[in-house]
Amino acid sequence: MTTTEGVDRLLAAARDTMAKVTDCWAATPSADGGVNLRVVAPIPGVPGEDDWTIWLATGGGSRKAGEIRRSGRLTLGYQHHPDRAYVALIGRAALFEDRAEIRRRWVETWRIYFPRGPDDPDTVLVKVNVERIELCVRGVSPEPFGSRPSVLQRDADRRWSVASA
């Protein structure tokens, strides 16, 4: 198997695992050096967009938004328990308050959190540019299964390569 085939296989396994999961965990670095974790619902991408740019919505005044403003980092964790598979996406994160972009990506079920809809001034989008992927997927990750993840790293030209765990 060539390096390109290996990268493609790992990316496909990550995509497959993520597609089976509705919600995922979002981890942000806290101000005290710890980590804060919460469940989020990633927004489906739009045609022509990079598969490894992930979007989600949050409140502009939330702890999550404050931690993203301060650190510029976010990790998303997807677990599909029936397959005993997980994917962690690590990358740079930024907040977007552009109303047109929020309306374009709006999911109506968010109205429970943002009653005024996409024009709610507290609604902001989080854009995560994934730089590193760690995954553990049976048949793809090294044996013995679960002993160490497969890791992909993105370079400055946005190309993926296999990295060491």
Class of domain 3-163: mainly beta
Look up the pTM and report it: 0.93
Q: Is the pLDDT of residue 12 over 60?
A: yes
Q: Is the pLDDT of residue 165 over 80?
A: no
pLDDT, tens digit, for every residue of 84-104?
A: 999 999 999 999 999 999 999
Segments making up each domain of the chain, as ranges: 3-163
Say how far apart CA 18 and CA 13 lie, in whole Å.
9
What's the Cα-to-Cα distance from 153 to each of 86, 144, 165, rounded to whole Å?
17, 22, 10
Scan for tokens 């993840």, then name that residue. 149
pLDDT, tens digit, for every residue of 15-71?
A: 999 999 999 999 999 999 999 999 999 987 778 888 899 999 999 999 999 999 999
DSSP code at position 43: B
